[in-house]
Structure 1
Amino acid sequence: MLAALLSATIVVAGCAAEGKTMTPEETQKDALALLDQTTTSTDIDWSSPGDPVSKKCSEGVRYQYMVHAPVNSKQTELADSLAEFWRSKGLQVERSKQDFGSKYGTVYAATAKADGKAGAAFEITNGNALVYVNSQCVAGSPDDE
């Protein structure tokens, strides 16, 4: 449920394309670069992103990548580190923190966005960290794969 809410929240982060018109391939490459930079900015063993999920957006299509990693401690430090990294890349970061009880513990979440750039989000629980990156929204269709 939390992942679905966070995924829906970052739709906006990846759909505002301004400036140079990019191709779907360019936006995928841009999003993968941000994801790679994000994961290598930490000392965590992240999963590989696999193929993107393509979704309809206002301009046509956007691509979303996700990685995850087990996290059993230092959730606060990881949340701080990811948020600071995205700020250093010129993204505006909005964070939240909520206690979901003994099953999930405190959940740290954030979205990061900037016009003309890929957007990102994270969700960190007491057992898992998820990072999502959305490409910019570009002309095309999710069916054009």
Structure 2
Amino acid sequence: MTTRAHTTIAVAILAAAASLALSGCGTTRAGQPMTIDEAKAEAIAEFRSALALAPDTWPQEVPKPAVFDCRIDGVRAVQFSYFVAVEAPAAPGVLVAQAGEHWEREGYELSKTQTEMDPETGQVYAVVARADGKPRASMAATKVRAHVNVDSRCVLGDPDDYR
């Protein structure tokens, strides 16, 4: 793979991650602050549902999350990000379309893109899913590589306790 293709895929991944990084406050339906365990469980459930859409493509185990700082009303808080990537997915456009359809059924608003890169990379298909009161999710795929990412809601807690 060329350096340009690696750079392009990295930029697409970073753009999707950046668009997910700014989650709102995590609260339960009763208006009570969401616990860290609840936020993680909700994100893991969404992550697993995305992986289950194409079990022959995605590994089914949930990786250890990346931990990020976020803020709730100016107070330092924590967010958990679940990410997995695979090489050379079959039918990358179909893979991303399935995820988008799934997230749309789940009440998410979608942002979809499709961009022609170079002959080696081909099309970059991407979808970002957002909804109030839910984790944020994204998937991007080319014939070279694909990834799925789910970020928990931002919840009160010290991120350093989870690093």
Other-structure match for 2:15? 5
Other-structure match for 2:96? 79
Identical pairs, percent = 26
Cα distance in 1, alignment partners of residues 135 and 24 from structure 2: 9
Equivalences for 1:110-129 in 2 at 5 Å? 110-129=127-146
2:113 pairs, out of 96, 99, 105, with 96
Alpha-carbon contact 1:68-1:131 (below 8 Å) kept: yes
TM-aligned CA deviation for residue 16 of structure 1: 4.5
Alpha-carbon contact 1:66-1:132 (below 8 Å) kept: yes
Cα distance in 2, alignment partners of residues 20 and 111 from structure 1: 27
User: Which has the higher relative contact order, 1 or 2, with Cα contacts under 8 A spaced 6 or more apart?
Assistant: 1
Cα distance in 2, alignment partners of residues 69 and 31 from structure 1: 20
TM-aligned CA deviation for residue 69 of structure 1: 2.7
Unaligned runs of 5+ residues in structure 1 are: none
Alignment CA distance shift 1:20-1:86 (3 Å): farther
3-state secondary structure, aligned to 2:68: strand
Task: Check if 1:37 corresponds to 2:49.
Answer: yes
The normalised TM-score by structure 2 is 0.80
Alpha-carbon contact 1:17-1:115 (below 8 Å) kept: no
Other-structure match for 1:17? 26
The Cα RMSD (Å) is 1.7
State the Cα deviation string for residues 52-77 of structure 1 (Å, max 9, x = none).
11101122111000122334432221
Number of residues of Structure 1 aligned to a counterpart in Structure 2: 144
3-state secondary structure, aligned to 1:121: strand
Alpha-carbon contact 1:53-1:64 (below 8 Å) kept: yes
State the Cα deviation string for residues 24-63 of structure 1 (Å, max 9, x = none).
1110111000011111122433133311111011221110
3-state secondary structure, aligned to 1:90: coil
The normalised TM-score by structure 1 is 0.90
State which drifts further: 17-26 or 134-143.
17-26
State the Cα deviation string for residues 5-39 of structure 1 (Å, max 9, x = none).
22111113x33435441111110111000011111
Unaligned runs of 5+ residues in structure 2 are: 1-9
